[in-house]
Amino acid sequence: MNEWWRGSVTYQVYPRSFQDDSGDGVGDLAGITRRLPYLAELGVDAVWLSPVFTSPMRDMGYDVSDYTDIDPVFGTLADFDALVARAHGLGLKIIIDQVLSHCSDQHAAFRESRQSRDNPKADWFVWADPRPDGTPPNNWLSVFGGPAWTWDARRKQYYFHNFLTQQPDFNYHNPAVQDWMLDNMRFWLDRGVDGFRFDTVNYFFHDRMLRDDAADYRIKTESEANPYMMQYHLFSKNQPENLPWIERIRALMDEYDNRATVGEMGENHHAIRMMGEYTAPGRLHQCYSFDLMGYDYSAALFRSKIEEFFTGAPNGWPMWAFSNHDVVRHVSRWAEHGASQDALAKQAGALLLSLQGSICLWQGEELGQTDTVLDFEDLTDPQGIAFWPEPVGRDNTRTPMVWDDSPNAGFSPVTPWLPVKPAQAARNVAAQQGVPGSVLEFYRQMLAFRSATPALVTGATRFHDLPEPVLAFTRGGNLTCVFNLSPNPVALTTRASGLTGPFNATLTGTTLTLPPNGFAWVQGGADFAPV
C-alpha cells in the first residue's frame, strides 16, 4: 500500500485568491495551473483546492449548487482536467474540497425538497414542524449567528442549517443521500483527483429526536461575541452515526489506488480525541482541528496536543496546521512572541514542519504573510459582516496571493475581489525568491530537510522536560528538535556534538545558544538543561 499521505505536506490554495488569468479580478483554474511549478519548486507534496464547484457564492463556494461541475468564475471541467494533468506531471497530488454536510438552497435537490412533504426529495434535508407557539423545534444555533432553523411557508416547516440560511443541511439518516454523495465523489475520483478534504466532517448527522443542545459546561463570565460558542453541541452535530458513514467513504476510497482523505474537525470540545476516533483504521486517513490555530504560543500547548493525540490514537494520524482560510494568520496572531516578523515566520515554519503527522501550509505562509486590515466596506464574508468588528472575519486572511511588485501584486490585471494592501504586497514572491535569508528560501530549505529526514516524516515523538519558553522533542529516537518560543535569547547545556538542518542557533562546547525565536536540530537525541 502506498501511504504517500503519511507525513506529507499539503499546500492549501484558495482559488479565488491565487492567480487570476481571466482578468475578472477573481482567481481561476488556469491561473492555478500556471503557478503549479512554483508549488513544485517549493517542495510540497500535495495541493488542496478550496471549492471550485458551481455555487451562488454566498459562502464563497462552500454553498454548492452542483457537485459535478466547475463554477464559470473558475473555468470549466476541461480546465480542471488540465490542472490535474499538469500537477501530476510535476509530481504533485491534487486534493479537492468536498462540502457534503450541506449545499446551496439553489441546488436542484433542495428546490425539489421544499416544494412539498411527499416529493422524491422530501426527506433529503432536515425538516421539522414548529412547536405549538410557532417557534423552531429546538435551540440549535447557526455558526453564522442566530437560530439554525429557517421557516419555509410551502412545507409549513422549518429546515435546519448549521451555517447560512442559504446552506440547508442534508439528512444523512436517509440512505439515498449517502448513496448519491458517494456517486458524486466517484465522479471526481474517476477524473484523477488524489484525495478529498472533507469540510466540517463531524457535522453530517443530527440527533433524530431533535433534543436541545446544552449550555457550555465551561463557565462563561460574559456573553460570547458569537453565541454559537455558548453551547455544547451534543445533538446538532457529533453524532455516533457519523463514523459508519465515514467508513463507507473509506471503502469507496479503497477501491482506487493511492487516494487519501483528510477531515476538518469543527469542534471546540475534545477535538483532538475526535481526530483520533475519525482516523481509526478503516476511517479517514488524516484529520485536523483548530487546536493549534489559536493565540497560545507556548511549549505546554504544543506538547499537550501532540501527546494527547498519539496517546489516545496510536493507530490514527493527524494533520497539523497553524493557519488556514478560516482563521487569523499565525504571524499576526503570535506577533507578540516574535523578535521580528521574519524571525517568527521562520520559527513557526521550522516548528510546524518538525511535528509528527502530516502538515498543511496555507497560501502565503511561506512568505511570512500577515492578515490584511480591511474596512467594513471591503468585506464579502458573511461571518465577518455578521460579527463586525469582533471577532475578525475570514476575508482578512483570504486576500490575494502576492507575486511581484506590479499593480495588484501580479495577481490580476484589474482590481481584485479583495484588496491587496501595501503591507501584504511588500512580502511578494519575486522580492524573496533566490534571496538568502528570506522567509521563502527558508521554507524551501526546511521542506527539503523534512523530506530528506525520515525521522521528521514518520518518526515517533518523545518530549523533553524543559521550562517555558523552550520546546524540545526527539523524533525517531535520534533527532532532537529544540525551539525558543520567545523574543529573548535562551541558553541550554547539552551533550550534543553537532547541529543539522537549517538551524539558527550556535553550539559552543556544551552550551547551545538559541537566539530570539531560535531553533536547532541535534543528532543523537541529546539531553538538555537550562543554563
Confidence (pLDDT) at 388: 92
Domain positions in the chain are: 9-101+175-451, 461-530
Q: Do domains 9-101+175-451 and 461-530 have the same CATH topology?
A: no
- With 0-12 / 13-18 / 19 or more C-beta atoms within 10 angstroms meaning exposed / middle / buried, residue 341 is middle
DSSP letters spanning 442-499: HHHHHHHHHHT-HHHHH--EEE----TTEEEEEETTTEEEEEE-SSS-EEEEE----E
Give Dmax (Cα) for the chain: 80
Question: Closest Cα to residue 493, out of 455, 525, 531, 446?
Answer: 531
Confidence (pLDDT) at 220: 83
Confidence (pLDDT) at 477: 86
Alpha carbon distances (Å) from 513 to 113, 161, 470, 499:
65, 53, 12, 12
How far is it, in rounded angstroms, from Cα 58 to Cα 44?
Answer: 31
Pairing of strands 470-475, 479-484: antiparallel
Confidence (pLDDT) at 527: 85
Answer CATH for 9-101+175-451 from 1.10.287.3510, 3.20.20.80, 3.40.50.1220, 3.30.830.10: 3.20.20.80
| Whether the Cβ atoms of residue 254 and residue 246 lie closer than 8 Å to each other | no
Cell of 290: 483548530
Confidence (pLDDT) at 436: 97
Instruction: Kindly report the number of other CB atoms within 10 A of residue 308's CB atom.
Output: 17
| Whether the Cβ atoms of residue 268 and residue 201 lie closer than 8 Å to each other | no
Confidence (pLDDT) at 523: 87
pLDDT in tens, the chain (531 residues): 689 999 999 999 999 999 999 999 999 999 999 999 999 999 999 999 999 999 999 999 999 999 999 999 999 999 999 999 999 999 999 999 999 999 999 999 999 999 999 999 999 999 999 999 999 999 999 999 999 999 999 999 999 999 999 999 999 999 999 999 999 999 999 999 999 999 999 999 999 999 999 999 888 888 999 999 999 999 999 999 999 999 999 999 999 999 999 999 999 999 999 999 999 999 999 999 999 999 999 999 999 999 999 999 999 999 999 999 999 999 999 999 999 999 999 999 999 999 999 999 999 999 999 999 999 999 999 999 999 988 788 999 999 999 999 999 999 999 999 999 999 999 999 999 999 999 999 999 999 999 999 999 999 999 999 999 999 999 998 999 999 999 999 999 998 889 999 999 999 999 999 999 999 999 876 788 998
Confidence (pLDDT) at 46: 98
* Residues annotated as catalytic (active site), given as ranges: 199, 255
Q: Which fold has domain 461-530?
A: Immunoglobulin-like (2.60.40)
How far is it, in rounded angstroms, from Cα 403 to Cα 299?
Answer: 34
Confidence (pLDDT) at 496: 87
Confidence (pLDDT) at 391: 75
Instruction: Kindly report the number of other CB atoms within 10 A of residue 37's CB atom.
Output: 12
Question: Closest Cα to residue 86, out of 156, 52, 129, 37?
Answer: 37
| Whether the Cβ atoms of residue 261 and residue 285 lie closer than 8 Å to each other | yes
CB burial string 456-489: b at 16+ within 10 A, e below = bbebebeebebeebbbbbbbbeebbbbbbbbbee
Confidence (pLDDT) at 221: 85
Contacts for 314 with CB less than 8 Å, ≥ 6 apart: none
